Structure 1
Amino acid sequence: MFEAAEYIGIIAFTMSGFFVAVRSRLDLLGVLVSVFLTAFGGGIIRDIIVDRTPYTFIHAAPGFMVLGMMALMIVLQFHRRESIENRLLFILSDSIGLISFSITGALVAMENGLNLTGVLALAFVTAVGGGITRDVIINEVPFVFKTGFYGTIALLVAIVLYGMEQLGWVNLYTTSLLFVAGVVLRIVAYQKKWSIPLR
């Protein structure tokens, strides 16, 4: 389950990072940095927190997946498409990446025997850490701070997964159902412009 969610998240966040780079009119090096930070940043922070070698540093597949996906998007000229089309694809890819990495962060936390606080922290960091790092480097307000229900959904997914673990319900089917529900919730929240009011 971990590897499946990790690879789905990497592919989705590769697309997300690509669209952000194109929107910011970065050159090829800038696109590479944006893509790699978005796809790997959160997972690297997660693994360092639990004192293990980052997954992407000991497996070759993630790096090749990112380069291959980026090359495919360039060949298909996604960097030249109309912004509205890229926007729709960006929201979908970013939502998939968010939920995938929320799940992997929570799974790693539970595997290491962390309590609910630790599960929430690792899920959140894994889901948004790469995007925050990317946005800071390209001098933008991090996406997670501009949309009120973004990070909240990562935390909700972590809470549900933690509850499922306590009940012994974590398996491929229940985790897949949680993934789909999380992605749908994120997309609906975006379309409905849900947010948590300050007061």
Structure 2
Amino acid sequence: MFEVAEYIGIIAFASSGFFVAVRNKLDFLGTLISVFLTALGGGLIRDIAVDKTPYTFTHNMPALTILIVMILLILFKFQKKDSIENKPLFILSDSIGLISFSITGALVAIEAGLNLTGVLALAFVTAVGGGIIRDVIINEIPFVLKTGFYGTIALLIGLMLYVLDLYDLISFYTMTMVFFAGIVLRIIAYYKKWAIPML
């Protein structure tokens, strides 16, 4: 379950990182950095937090997956220039990455025996950490700080998995339900413009 969610998140966040790079007119190296940070940054922070060798440093597939996604997106861009910054496509890929990485962060925290605070923290950091680093590097206000409900969804996913674990209900089926429920919630929240009230 962890690996499935991890690779779904990597593919989705690599795509959204690519779209952000194209929107900001970065060169090839800048695009590569944007893609890698978005797809892998949160997972690196997550694994370091639980004193674990980062998954990316012990498996070759994450980096290979990112390179394949990037090559396909470059080819796709050249063939259909109007489609690469298609907003619904960006929102969908970003939503899939958000939910997938929230799940992997929560699972790692649960496996490490962390309490509710730890599960919420790792779900949040895994989901938004890479995007925050990317946005800071390209001199943008991090997306999660402008869209209050974005980070809230990561916390809700963490909470749901913590509760499921308390009752020994974590399985492929419950993970699938949480995954799709999270995506639906994210998309509804985006189009309904849900947000946390400003102070």
In which range does the TM-score fall when normalised by the shorter chain?
over 0.9
Distance 1:129 1:148 in 2: 15
- Displacement, 1:35? 0.0
Aligned to 1:149: 149
* Secondary structure at the counterpart of residue 71 of structure 2: helix
Aligned to 2:108: 108
* Secondary structure at the counterpart of residue 32 of structure 1: helix
- Displacement, 1:88? 1.2
Give the TM-score normalised by structure 1.
0.97
* Secondary structure at the counterpart of residue 86 of structure 2: helix
What CA RMSD, in Å, does the superposition of the two structures yield over aligned residues?
1.4
- Displacement, 1:168? 0.7
Contact 2:77 2:83 in 1 (8 A): no
Contact 2:23 2:85 in 1 (8 A): no
Contact 1:78 1:86 in 2 (8 A): no
Q: How does 1:1-199 map to 2 (within 5 A)?
A: 1-77=1-77, 81-82=81-82, 86-198=86-198
Q: Which amino acid aligns with 2:30?
A: G
Identical positions, percent: 69
Contact 2:96 2:183 in 1 (8 A): yes
Q: Which runs of 5+ in 1 are unaligned?
A: none
Give the TM-score normalised by structure 2.
0.97
- Displacement, 1:82? 2.8
Q: Which moved more, 1:84-93 or 1:2-11?
A: 84-93
Distance 1:127 1:77 in 2: 26
Distance 1:82 1:100 in 2: 27
Distance 1:189 1:140 in 2: 22
* Secondary structure at the counterpart of residue 198 of structure 1: coil
Instruction: Report Cα offsets for 1:158-199 as digits up to 9, x if no partner.
Output: 001100000110000001100000001000000000001125
How many positions carry a matched residue from both structures?
Answer: 199
* Change over 3 Å in CA distance of 1:110–1:152 after alignment to 2: same
Distance 2:101 2:8 in 1: 9
Distance 1:73 1:163 in 2: 38
